[in-house]
Amino acid sequence: MEKWSYLFIVIGASLWGTIGIFVQALYSYGLSPLQVVTVRVTFAAILLVFMLLIQNPSLLKIDKRDYKYFVGTGIFSIVFFNWCFFTAIQETSLSVAAVLLYTGPAFVTILSRFLFKEWLTKRKLFALLLTLIGCILVIGLFPLEQNQISLYGVFVGLGSGLGYALYSIFGKYALAKYSSQTVTAYTFIFASVALLPISGLWRVDNIFTTPEFWTYGISLGLFPTVLAYLLYTRGLNKVETSRASITATIEPVVATLIGIFIFGDLLTTWQLLGIFSVLLAVFFVQERTQEKKVILEKGCQAQ
């Protein structure tokens, strides 16, 4: 079952890597980063509620005392990290923004140590190091290039990493009581309720009468959002939080490949090495079952 969980995480993260296609298309219609976030979470919320009403309406029942979890996943995580991520795309580039987003595993690993008492094993630390090196190479920060990167873009990019980390943290608490479908649905319900009143979407000229807006909006809500989050959250249910977030670093690799084959970007040898490093980290973080048992046994004895 754990292997399937890793597969769900990898597929979900790969779908996240396609987000730039839809975001850049929506930017061409004059939408701001906040408005694109609103489009994403609103279409996602509608699709998720419709899906659950057909499949199992009981999954939409939650305790009011648990709203705090979905304020965490929906507003502090989804709204915050999407705004940061989409702003970073504008300020830097898709590949730079994607890699800055994946400072998230570092935040998750540190927070998980204190909140969930997850062990900082040598494999985890080495996988994080491989991921960091790989991401630096993929975006071309090494060897040093002449292009200047927006300092503001770097800061909001790091903010997206923190926001991404918070989804894994709050999501872990919510999964203790609710299914992955419920957690994902209420994450986007809370996010859309918070954003719609302040988005100003209705001020964008002719946006709702443009067929392409609906095509890209629904696609953004479905593929790199609903399907991606359902798969990732399902995998998170059976995998350590820190391990899941490191595995999901396949996203910037997918984003880079999309840049090559769709937007005509060229890969250098260093970037190829970076992709290999990230992929190696994804596989390396998956410890053998026996090794994991030994670590857990030592932890129990220490307690």
* pLDDT tens string 131-148: 888 878 876 777 765 455
* Residue 243, amino acid: R
Which tokens in the block code for residue 183?
């957690």
Measure Cα distances from 142 to 33, 53, 99, 151, 174 in Å: 29, 50, 13, 17, 39
Output 127 or 13, whichever has higher pLDDT.
Answer: 13
Going by pLDDT thresholds of 50, 70 and 90, the confidence category of residue 82 is: very high
Going by pLDDT thresholds of 50, 70 and 90, the confidence category of residue 292 is: very low
pLDDT at res. 113: 76
Q: How many residues does the chain have?
A: 303
For residues 169 and 19, give the distance between their C-alpha atoms in angstroms, rounded to a whole number.
Answer: 23
Q: What is the torsion angle, in degrees rounded to the nearest 10, for the CA atoms of residue 198, residue 202, residue 207 and residue 212?
A: 50
Going by pLDDT thresholds of 50, 70 and 90, the confidence category of residue 240 is: confident
pLDDT at res. 115: 77
For residues 64 and 238, give the distance between their C-alpha atoms in angstroms, rounded to a whole number.
Answer: 26
